[in-house]
Chains A and B, each alone.
Chain A
Amino acid sequence: MKAKRAGDYVWDIPKTGGMRVPGRIYASESMIGRIERERVAEQVANVACLPGIVGASLAMPDCHWGYGAPVGGVAATDERVGVVSPGLVGYDISCGMRVLRTGLLAAAVRPKAEALMDALHATVTSGVGRGGGLRLEPRELEGLLEGGAGWAVKRGLGEAADLDVLEDAGTFPGADPGRVSSRALERGRDQLGTLGSGNHFLELQAVDEVFDEKAAEAFGLFPGQFVVMVHTGSRGLGYQVCTDALKLMPAAMKRANISLPDRQLACAPLDSREGKDYLSAMAAAANFARGNRQAITHKVRAACREALGLSAADLGMSVLYDVSHNLAKYERHAVDGVERRLCVHRKGATRAFPAGHADVPEAYRAVGQPVLVPGTMGTSSYVLVGTPRAMLETFGSVCHGAGRVMSRTEAARRVRPEELRRRLKDLGITARTDSWKGFAEEAPEAYKDVSEVVEVCEAAGLSRRVAKLKPFGVLKG
């Protein structure tokens, strides 16, 4: 399927067949050919068939072929007549990013990077197979699913001030643990505080470049600073919530006479029992994810204190922000000049609200919401800030990372783990992993150039660069 140029960085897919709205892809000219070949445009068009979708079915510059919806997809459905689609959230519910800042210079940490990476590897487990995380009693797990990061802080996994700068203050509203299956609970019971595998990671980073001094100052970032970036989600619990929901959607679709071109997009009206049950279970899984990143924060603080021989005060580690990139959320947006309450699905896309928005933490409200964009282990990551234009065009959404361009099988064939490890070492990056095979599949060449992705976002007016972060320690599950 071909997309038509609609601007320097905008490509449209006109409404045809069962599409209820057009599709829109944000990409540079050099990106669009691959996007079309990969069937992303076809997946964007399929999402446009969802009942109640408004505006356009969107894809961000890091988009690539997913299942059902493309990774990097955004779709908003009307509260009254729209649907919720679990496949358009994805299996890793509330997978997201967290950045921890410190008062230290990275140059002071680098000499102890090996010891610090050993300490982190020992405590922040991958959790593949059996958990390896904090094992929770049923009542504790219920508390986590209701309270998210807030519950974790009450349990001693962090500081109260951490919650002031988290999306939703760390607790996704509307969670009902009673809507989470016993299988999902079983998959999550000993995975709190674990990274998982695949593209999940923990990195030691240095602030390499500041683009926007005012925003950087508001975010507490300065050149040369030591920061830690965490990428993980709701682990097995979230995967099972999505698995369970996909089995319940067909009955709701039949009742509402909904047919879609892809089964993975199975959906339910927002006001249906199935739709409400999914949103309650999804919220619970989102709270697991937020609690998970909070528990990891606690472990990172402990590992840094131990390996660097510093007190908590000398380490000065605080949370910059925590934001999900796989979620469906009720938000208010203007559509054709009229404000409406919408269910905004973001699958591999980050919420990016501008200055002045009430949902931006007070500390950042004057400059806008921090957007945390991971790159690859050998390149860079970015901190961006939301813009008013994103509110008008993309329901306040922007990219979530670099975006894959190479399959895992191809990456495994081309990249030898030992060679990659050496290459990273030559770049001054210390690596640890539970699976060198899986590590090689995440090689930098398997991804788009994250710098180009964020530059396209900026050129399209969806976000602004605040700071560039360079890794010097990488932990992969």
Chain B
Amino acid sequence: MAAKRGGGRKAPAPSFSLLPHTSEASVRAHGRTWAELHMNAAKGLMALWGLDAGKAQWNEKVSFQSDTPEDLLVVWLEELVYRLSARGEVWAGGRAVEATGRSLALNASWRALGEGERPAREVKAATYHGLKVERAAGLFSATVILDV
């Protein structure tokens, strides 16, 4: 699947890519900031579902804390998985209010899964296997394997 391109002029980098895994799916996301990294990881998950952000129907403040950047990424993606699976809520973008390696607070936008709209595949969970968050040359990168 094709990677999408981010919009930064100084450090253009792919916002995310979907990496091959024999039985699961792997997302590699990048960002010049922690906030951008988490938003791009969410875009990667949306691409796995084959869902568009669409038009936001409501906004909601959400926040997460964790001991490590890796755990924070898993917690954030699990929130998106849970909302879609349990409530039929689709992430429609958002703006980070605060983002560090251990906390994430954002004004998130959501929409309801449309009538007849179906994700291309079911994502069961974000896993810890091969989970990695790195920083090099001013760019944050994260790799996460999702059980599909």
Contact = CB atoms under 8 A, between A and B. Distances in A.
Interface of A: 38, 64-68, 71, 87, 90-92, 126, 128-130, 183, 186-187, 196-198, 236, 239-240, 242-243, 246, 262-264, 266, 404-410, 412-413, 434-435, 437-438, 441, 477
B92 to A, nearest CB: 15
A197 B120 CA distance: 9
A250 to B, nearest CB: 9
B21 A407 contact: yes
Contacts of B117: 129
B88 to A, nearest CB: 4
B125 A409 contact: no
Contact of A67 (B82, B87, B118, B127): B127
Given A129-B117, A435-B121, 11 more contacts: A66-B129, A91-B125, A129-B118, A130-B87, A183-B82, A197-B119, A197-B121, A236-B86, A262-B128, A263-B131, A264-B129
Dominant SS among interface residues on chain A: mixed
A198 B122 contact: yes
24 contacts: A66-B23, A66-B129, A67-B127, A67-B128, A67-B147, A87-B127, A87-B128, A90-B147, A128-B118, A129-B84, A129-B113, A183-B82, A197-B119, A236-B85, A239-B124, A239-B125, A240-B82, A242-B125, A404-B23, A405-B22, A408-B21, A408-B25, A434-B118, A438-B120
Size bracket of the B interface: 35 or more
Contacts of A409: 1, 18-20, 25
B72 interface: no
Contacts of A236: 85-86, 124
Contacts of A91: 124-125, 147
Contacts of A413: 1
Given A129-B84, A404-B22, A263 B128 contact: yes
A263 B86 contact: no
Contacts of A130: 87-88, 113
Contact of B82 (A187, A264, A410): A187
Nearest to A434: B118
A437 B21 contact: no
Contacts of B122: 126, 128, 196-198, 477
Contacts of B128: 67-68, 87, 246, 262-264, 266
Interface string B31-65: 00000000000000000001000000000000000
Nearest to A186: B86
Contacts of B147: 67, 90-92, 239
B15 to A, nearest CB: 17
A66 B24 contact: yes
B26 to A, nearest CB: 9
Contacts of B97: none
A406 B82 contact: no
Nearest to B148: A198
Contacts of B1: 409, 412-413
A71 B23 contact: yes
Nearest to A412: B1
Interface centre among B81, B118, B145 (most CB of A within 10 A): B118
Interface centre among B23, B120, B127, B145 (most CB of A within 10 A): B23
